[in-house]
Structure 1
């Protein structure tokens, strides 16, 4: 009988290395089925400039881009550390996916529906829930009512409902989850947060994950790379947290707005210096701190 404390690979590592393989689509399909609320079948993993493997590529924004059985595009991105302008980033990723999958000269009805799923391991804002879902709606400026677009009438200008066309954004706030895992959604949240999977799980995809994402099933070389990945994440989070705290403390000590600004600026510079010493790519440091690459090169 398998031990209860078996160690499982984090989802962010699996999604980059293992879940692109067709044999492991069951894990990915289970995850999407639970978080999208409907049965999802993956037809293929799509490669493009928006999900290349190189960490230095400025288009390196998407961890997985897949096409489902409805010919829709699903983007999954995992963000371990804070990043400025994150909402703009996911908007860019969605726009890129839409334009990449409609050829020049094709009619607009060929536009694909896109789902953007962000798994966040940092605090993006205030909210009581750990799972948020958003989409475009048309609301009356004066009346507050929601516009019901006509699509069923003969010769209607609009052929598809907005929900069938506009992208949907799902934000998964992993660190905010603190419940006992009972439902399939909660079981997935538990796995995303601390790597725990119940031996008797029936949650879609997690049974496959227990078989295919075992830590000790990797080779020693793969385990070493994985452990280094976890260490890098912890170091970057510690550095960013320390810089943020140092900036706040110094700002308070000054007691003036200039002091706060100076504290924040020095904290950001210290963060960039530490990340640079760790060998983190300049473009990644720029995303994390807001500094330009030229400023980082001069540090």
Structure 2
């Protein structure tokens, strides 16, 4: 049986390896598959959560790049739930827009932003593993799309909001439960399982097979990576434990309320104990 290589998780690769120019082809392949057009990264831009040490927050990792069109692409990996996640990515996009237009420049030079969120938690209801959207303006009664007309250098310039406003991609990794057939599905499978097919033709994944092999890292890098995985597992266990405790506390409160009602009806302690599972001394205190 052929031994499968062990590949580095994408969040760690984004944090460490894919920031090197020699490895841009992996990220370019992923973006090409997701956006449906060839993407070439010109440079990486300053990113607010580029943590490098084990003690840093491991919940969120992001990378910010400029493509050959001058557009800005933010790729963000979120490992656990954040209460106001959508509001935060909106703020991040707005911040990127203002950071990349110089004071005194005209507004038409605002850069198009793509915000890509790879989510390892349940963000809400939905049957798909990939959601894509942006701000659009549609007539309430006519159903037509508003086209913005501006005048520049004595010529009318027609632009759709889609050419200006940011686009958001939400990738719900945990919701992917199918056999990978398309290049995009192969990428989502890798994001979820860390597995890459040996015969993959998906842009970026063939490069990842060569560059993201676990045993190609130095012993120190492997140790740091293992610590990263351990930290994520511990955090998830803590969150699961907190959820379980919350459910148990809710159940206990319900039992106490039932016992209180039964006691007010004049039932004896033994009967209340059988009905609620509370200890006799707990019932007597009610």
TM-score (norm 2): 0.82
Give the CA deviation at 1:53. Answer: 2.7
- Tell me whether 1:180 sits opposite 2:182 in the alignment: no
Question: Distance between the aligned counterparts of 1:119 and 1:101, measured in 2?
Answer: 24
Task: Indicate conservation of the 8 Å contact 2:64/2:75, yes or no.
Answer: yes
Name the counterpart of 1:197.
196
Residues 217-248 of structure 1: per-residue CA shift (max 9 Å, x gap): 00111101101100100110111111012112
Q: After alignment, is 2-11 or 36-45 more displaced? A: 2-11
- Tell me whether 1:139 sits opposite 2:159 in the alignment: no
- Quickly say closer, same or farther: Cα 1:61–1:237, change in 2 above 3 A: closer
Question: Distance between the aligned counterparts of 1:209 and 1:32, measured in 2?
Answer: 13
Residues 22-56 of structure 1: per-residue CA shift (max 9 Å, x gap): 100110000001111111110011115x3443689
Question: Distance between the aligned counterparts of 1:195 and 1:57, measured in 2?
Answer: 23
Q: How does 1:245-264 map to 2 (within 5 A)?
A: 245-255=244-254
- Tell me whether 1:241 sits opposite 2:232 in the alignment: no
Task: Indicate conservation of the 8 Å contact 1:62/1:93, yes or no.
Answer: no
Q: How does 1:1-299 map to 2 (within 5 A)?
A: 3-48=2-47, 50-53=48-51, 63-141=62-140, 143=141, 145-151=143-149, 159-255=158-254
Give the CA deviation at 1:148. Answer: 2.8
Task: Indicate conservation of the 8 Å contact 1:9/1:214, yes or no.
Answer: yes
Q: Which runs of 4+ in 1 moved over 4 A?
A: 54-58, 150-159
Residues 91-143 of structure 1: per-residue CA shift (max 9 Å, x gap): 111011100000111110110000000000000001000000010011334x2
For structure 2, the residue ranges without an aligned partner over 5 or more in a row are 258-286
SS at match of 1:63: strand
Q: After alignment, is 244-253 or 185-194 more displaced? A: 244-253
- Quickly say closer, same or farther: Cα 1:220–1:57, change in 2 above 3 A: closer
Measured on the aligned residues, the alpha-carbon RMSD in Å equals 2.6
Question: Distance between the aligned counterparts of 1:230 and 1:198, measured in 2?
Answer: 22
Task: Indicate conservation of the 8 Å contact 2:43/2:67, yes or no.
Answer: yes
- Quickly say closer, same or farther: Cα 1:17–1:250, change in 2 above 3 A: same
Matched length:
253
Question: Distance between the aligned counterparts of 2:203 and 2:238, measured in 1?
Answer: 36
SS at match of 2:207: helix
Name the counterpart of 2:282.
none
Task: Indicate conservation of the 8 Å contact 1:30/1:204, yes or no.
Answer: yes
- Quickly say closer, same or farther: Cα 1:109–1:252, change in 2 above 3 A: same
SS at match of 1:53: coil
Name the counterpart of 2:280.
none
Task: Indicate conservation of the 8 Å contact 2:60/2:79, yes or no.
Answer: no
SS at match of 1:191: helix
Question: Distance between the aligned counterparts of 2:60 and 2:155, measured in 1?
Answer: 37
